[in-house]
Amino acid sequence: MSKPNVSKEAFGVMACRSEVLEEPPMTASQWVDLRMAMILMGLFGLAALPACGRSEALPEVAVEPSAPSVQAEEPALEEDALRAALGDEFVGAYPLVGETATTVRTVQLRAAPATTSLDGVRNTAVWAYDGTVPGPVLRVRLGEELRVTLDNRLPVATTIHWHGVRVHNAMDGVPGITQEPISPGAQFEYRLVPKDAGTFWYHPHVDGAEQVERGLHGVLVVEDRHPLPYSQDVVWMIDDWRLAEDGTIDPNFVTRHDLAHDGRWGQTITVNGRTDTELRVVPGSRIRLRLANPSNGRVYTPDFGPLEPRVVAVDGMFTARPLPLRGFELPPGARLDLDLVVPASTGSF
């Protein structure tokens, strides 16, 4: 079985990126400080909270006279080491200046009730973009402006939020904050010039717990100016659906049960809106497989059996080097880009 042989040099893979605010642009050192603070909060936040918020409840502890100086030095050394590691990982990896649009790509999207068959047997009434669940994969390259006109044919108001994409505030799709909801029968044009290549997704921010679960979600792929030479570039949206026996969607959203279980959990798992999705490949080919999770509460652990895909991007951000998939999870809203080399032998996996 062929093992993926991916290197940063071979494919020119950039290091990790993450979102920053539009204005003002941060310097590289500020970016490292921000990432370090986020990681330190994750590592030490739980231990620090009692000291910050409830110091009066902490018991007194007797220490040796020399202990305070030793304890003060060790965190400082750890922080310096972490700062250096983050500097190597992130400096130069995240573009501080966005792309300038040279061409315009226009898309018409219609949000409306539709009918689909998730399992090939029962029909399910959904809300969909352009009649499909998930919605169409939107592809744009760095240097292109994407203009999406949303025609709302739903019985309720809606918006589109561009998940993970650095956009102008007015285009972010947050009702009552960045725009007014798009009423039934109305239209709205979104204009965005993506600053980063990667895998993102789009969905409503009006009653998102219901509208996304009814089928309103799709993937946005931002390609590099010179895409990497994969045999196929494939998108898989992995979702779960709470269905009745007749295939209808459970109309009870944001219940006390859901809130007590970290979200709504369905019993029917689909890939690209089907329970029987297959990917046909040529032996020896190399696939970029983009996974996205629009589920409300379910966390997935991808398992490819004997195959050995490598993680090359997380949440639209290239990793500094290809990483083994083992240990990665795909929580709600997250994306994983995999580099998959198909074995030279034929078969099913």
Q: What are 69-102's pLDDT values in tens digits?
A: 445 456 677 888 888 877 776 665 567 777 678 8
Q: CATH code at 114?
A: 2.60.40.420
Q: Poorest-confidence range of 57-66, 113-122, 242-251, 281-290?
A: 57-66
Is the same domain home to 125 and 219? Answer: yes
Domain boundary pick from 226, 258, 276 = 226
Statement: residue 226 has pLDDT above 50: yes
Say if residue 320 is exposed, middle or buried (CB neighbours under 10 Å; 0-12, 13-18, 19+): middle
Is the same domain home to 134 and 33? Answer: no
Categorize the per-residue pLDDT at 104 as very low, low, confident or very high, splitting at 50, 70 and 90.
very high
Domain hosting 256: range is: 233-341
Rounded average pLDDT over 107-114: 98
* 263: region left, alpha or beta (phi > 0 left; psi from -120 to 50 alpha): left
**Closest by alpha carbon to 342, among 302, 283, 277?**
283
Is the same domain home to 108 and 198? Answer: yes
Q: H or E segment at 280? A: none
Q: How far apart are CA 187 and CA 170, in angstroms?
A: 15
- 19 lies in a domain? no
Rounded average pLDDT over 50-76: 42
Is the same domain home to 245 and 222? Answer: no
User: Where are the alpha helices (H) located in 54-175, listed in sequence order?
Assistant: 67-90
CB 336 within 8 A of CB 313: yes
Rounded average pLDDT over 336-342: 96
Rounded average pLDDT over 155-159: 98
Is the same domain home to 196 and 299? Answer: no
Rounded average pLDDT over 265-280: 94
- 312 lies in a domain? yes
More confident residue, 338 or 227: 338
User: pLDDT value at position 319?
Assistant: 87
Is the same domain home to 172 and 65? Answer: no
Statement: residue 216 has pLDDT above 80: yes
Is the same domain home to 242 and 337? Answer: yes
Q: What is the mean pLDDT of the chain?
A: 81
Rounded average pLDDT over 298-305: 94
The sheet with strand 144-152 has its strands ordered as 124-129, 103-116, 144-152, 187-192
- C-alpha distances in Å from residue 203, one per residue of 77, 108, 159, 279: 44, 15, 8, 25
Residue 267 is classified by DSSP as: S
- 14 lies in a domain? no
User: pLDDT value at position 43?
Assistant: 40
- 97 lies in a domain? no
- 3 lies in a domain? no
User: pLDDT value at position 17?
Assistant: 35
- 87-91, 98-102, 223-227, 327-331: range with highest mean pLDDT: 327-331
Statement: residue 57 has pLDDT above 50: no
User: pLDDT value at position 30?
Assistant: 53
Rounded average pLDDT over 201-228: 94
User: pLDDT value at position 101?
Assistant: 84
Half-sphere exposure of 41 (CA within 13 A, CB side): 7
User: pLDDT value at position 335?
Assistant: 97
Rounded average pLDDT over 24-30: 51
Q: Where are the beta strands (DSSP E) in 136-267?
A: 138-141, 144-152, 161-163, 187-192, 198-203, 218-223, 232-241
Q: What's the total number of domains in the chain?
A: 3
Domain boundary pick from 48, 64, 90 = 90
Is the same domain home to 82 and 113? Answer: no
Domain boundary pick from 172, 200, 226 = 226
- 16 lies in a domain? no
Is the same domain home to 297 and 256? Answer: yes
